[in-house]
Each structure stands twice: as C-alpha cells, then as structure tokens.
Amino acid sequence: MTTPDTDVLLARAQSWLAEDPDVHTRDELVRVMAAVEAGDGGARADLADRFRGTLEFGTAGLRGALGAGPNRMNRIVVIRAAAGLAAYLRDTGTTSGSAVVIGYDARHNSDVFARDTAEVMAGAGLKPLLLPRPLPTPLLAFAIRELGCAAGVMVTASHNPPEDNGYKVYLGDGSQIVPPADGEIAARIATVGNLESVRRVPLGTTGGRVLDDGIVDAYLDTVAALAGDGPRDLTIVYTPLHGVGGGALPAVLETAGFEAPQIVAEQEAPDPDFPTVAFPNPEEPGAIDRAVALAERTRADIVIANDPDADRCAAAVAGPDGTWRMLRGDEVGALLADHLLRNGREGVYAASIVSSSLLGRMAEAAGQRYAETLTGFKWISRVPGLVFGYEEALGYCVDPDHVSDKDGVSAALLLCEIAAEAKAAGRTLLDLLDDLAVAHGLHATDQLSVRVTDLGEIAAAMERLRAEPPTSLGGSPVTTADDLATGAGGLPPTDGLRYRTEDGSRVVVRPSGTEPKLKCYLEVVVPVLDADVPLARAEAATRLTALRADIALAARI
C-alpha cells in the first residue's frame, strides 16, 4: 500500500507524463512508477529525487543527468528553458526576426534538444539558425558574432559523464551569461505554464534554417590564420575523446601547414557513451593513456587532447628520460601567454583566481596589464581589452576578437606552433617552462579534488573551514584569509575561500560549478637560484605536499 507522500509523488509523475512529448522518458517514468507501486524503496527514492524541485538555471545554464522529471535534463525542461530565454530576449529589446544560433554536441539527445529550442525560438517570432551537425562549442560562440545574432544556445555537458547533458546560453556579445541575466531568465522560465502554452513552429517558419558548412569553414579558416609563418616539423598525436573535435582540429592543423595528426582510432568518432574512458575529461587519470601509448610507439613530439565539446585543450610531452607527462593547465597557459607576449600582443592578460599568479608577473614584466577574475570564462571573456585569458582547468582564449570563450581548437594550434618553433631550435616545451621559472620564479601548482555522492559533504566542509579557519598551511603561518562569499578584492561574491601564507603560498577552496567536487587549488612560488630549476622543483614538490595535507586536515576531507 502506498503512503500519502508516495501518492503525491505518483500524482506529480502522472501529470508529468501527460505532457511529456518524448516516448523514451515517458516509458522510463512508467517503469519507475510501476516499481514504486510495487513497493520498491529504491524506485521511490529515485522518483522523489526526480521531482525534488526543478533543475536550477544558473550562470552555466542547465546541466544535469538525463531522464524524466523536473530535476533532470529532458525535453520538457529544455522547452521551458527555451521559452524563458525567448521571453527574456523579447522583454529586453530583441526585435522580431532577430537571429538566435543554436549548436549541439554529440551527446545523447543533444540534437533533439537543439531542434526543440529552434522551434520555440521560431514560435516566439525569432529566427533560429541551427548549426548543421554536432560541432565544437567555440564554433557556436564564433557564430554568434559572425552572424550578428541576439543570442546563442549550445546543448552540451562538456566533459561531464555520459549520462549528463546541458544547456549553455550566450548573449549577443558572444559571451556566456552572468548575473543578473541568469536570474532574469530563470524568473521567466518559472512563469512558463503547461507545455501546451509554449508556441512551437517548424524551423523555417520565421526565416530560420539549418546552416550550411559556410559557418564551419569561416571558423576553421579564422582559427588557422592565427598561426604565423614558422617551422612546421612536428609529429602530433591527437584524441578528441569521443567528442566533436575530430573534424575541426585536424583540418585547422593541415590548413596551417602541419602534417595531419595521428588520431587515436578508438576515440576518433563521436560516441555519447565514451566507452574508453571513466570520465571524458582529459584532466582525469587515464583519459589520455591511449594517446600517450600511440605517441610512444610513433615517437611523436606532442600529444594533444580535446574534451568532448572541444572547448578545452590538454597536452602531454616526453621528458628527458622519455617519460611522458601531461602539462598542467597553468603550464599551458604560461606557454601560450609567453608566445603572445613575445609576438607583441598588447592588451590585458587575464586569469581566474584559482589559476597561477605567474601570468601576472609575466604581463607586468612585458609592460602589459593583468586582470584576475572569478572562475569561469563567463567572467574572463568580459575583461575589457582582453587579448588572452585562461583558467587552470585547461581553458584558453587566444583570440577573443572572434571567440569570446575558451577554445580548445585555437589553443591547440598555437601550442603546436610553439612546440614546432622549440623543436627547430633544438629545445622542448619543458625547456621553455624552465626559462619562465628562471625569469619569474618557479610557480608550482597542484590540486586536491574530492568527488562526492552527497553534495551536503561539500557544504559541510566549507562550513567547517569558515568556522575554524586554518592558522598555518604547509608549515607557514596564514597571513590573509578571504571569504570570497563577501566579494573580496572587488570581485563579485562567490562561494570560496582563499588563504595566503607568509612564505607566499596560496590555497583557494571552492565547490566545482559543474561537477560534484570540492576543489582545493594550491600554489607555491620558489625562487630559482643559479638557474637550478631541478632544485627549485624539488623544494616546490615538498611544499605542495605539505599544503595538500594541511588543507585536507582543515577541511576534514
């Protein structure tokens, strides 16, 4: 026999079924409901979670597990989000017939969600322009400006697990939404009634259409043009990690004069199940093992990896002993910045608060301005006068005039250009990093990342740190402790804590914005005496180990 609470849940589920346009999620929900009615406690917990509020629309748009119910990614949630976005655009001055470009990756249901969004935009009197197939997120950001659109939508969950999908919103400046736009869109989503009240019309009704490859070619040509004249002798191994970068990056490299990269065959074709990796994120252990193995067999110079929507770029190189290692995001950021600075790129160089402070020293030494932002390219891309921006999570913006977001394709091209120039001079990317350490001090970074199943664990850890802040980290007294929730340093408020120590070390603790993780970002700065970089690296490793242990103890994670 069901309890009254269960009856309420089943009634809500039945109402959901009545308006769900998707046969797959309807069938899924029917099975869950049947199990609940049969007394299955696990099914009841599942049903309760599906109807525990609504998937929250925030500065990352929407992101969550696929499935039936308001707390999942599905067609009802997406159609309502599209209706709310359309209402926001019309309410803020967007005129009838204005274009909205819509892109999508190769995840489950991405194409369906994109088509639904196009039909809602057309129903609102806007002109939807649908990208022709699954393509990189930076291409969507490029298309917004290139086509003069009022907004853009990218259906992607980036590097999240295969059961997830997401919905990323950009405005006409080509940048991701930030407050207060996110809250204003969310408010309009909340007012959307039954799905029958949302007008949807076929794609061509208001002049909308599926775009041809002209927009793809324009993006690829624009990226390829970033590479200057110079050496091109470089053997490249590449993996798109079952994502959408496999068509874009090889084309850009070949147009720029490089030999075609060797692609990891098992990971070349888009596959929403990501069968060869535990998590489709090049930062995760094991994600690029196949690429490294191919590089070892073929004696390649560099390994390049994109995440599934190709807005992030990872790289690995072999050390003097032949052992391959993946470069940290901060190292790639420093190499790209150094390349741009040496080539006279003038303007503002920006990084997020969790990225290395090295970029600030490099910019200052070159007479350029530096800016620090909150985490996320929605903030970095909006820095006035930006010419280069990066965040340690493998995100780089090397051409903000055309792509006001992170772009793993253009970053990979420039990194290959840097590697080819170094090879021609008998040097490596690791040698260039040593040069930067000698010039500016060794800035060594690391991360303690804890994945949880209960988000309450993250909140509890943050509460503990606020209630009992550490007085010493890594054996050095804490000199400043900033609660970023108060908007420290002139930045907008965010849930995070930042500690600086007497010896110049820094720790930033924050919940991940896209995954169920608590992240602790560590940095130490060690002077390089007599150009002895190995000695400085050994000292830095010792200090990072001590920092990691102390912050884990303080947070009790």
Catalytically active residues are: 158
DSSP per-residue letters across 341-393: HHTT--SEEEEETTS-THHHHHHHHTT-EEEEE-SSHHHHTTSTTEEEEEETT
Q: Is 444 exposed, middle or buried (0-12, 13-18, 19+ CB in 10 A)?
A: buried
Note the helical H segments in 202-307.
214-224, 245-255, 289-298
Contact between 305 and 403 under an 8 Å Cβ cutoff? The reply is: no
Contact between 129 and 101 under an 8 Å Cβ cutoff? The reply is: yes
DSSP per-residue letters across 401-451: TT-SS--HHHHHHHHHHHHHHHHHTT--HHHHHHHHHHHH-EEEEEEEEEE
The residues with which 510 forms a beta bridge, in sequence order, are: 519
* Distance from chain centroid for Cα 51: 27
Q: Is 450 exposed, middle or buried (0-12, 13-18, 19+ CB in 10 A)?
A: middle
CA–CA gap between residue 254 and residue 223 (Å, rounded): 12
Q: Is 350 exposed, middle or buried (0-12, 13-18, 19+ CB in 10 A)?
A: buried
Contact between 415 and 304 under an 8 Å Cβ cutoff? The reply is: yes
Contact between 35 and 43 under an 8 Å Cβ cutoff? The reply is: yes
* Distance from chain centroid for Cα 384: 21
**514: number of CA atoms within 13 Å, CB side?**
18
Residues in contact with 514: Cβ distance below 8 Å, sequence separation at least 6, in sequence order: 60, 63, 158, 160
CA–CA gap between residue 541 and residue 554 (Å, rounded): 20
Radius of gyration of the chain (CA): 24
CA–CA gap between residue 197 and residue 195 (Å, rounded): 5
CA 152-107-388 angle, 5° bins: 50
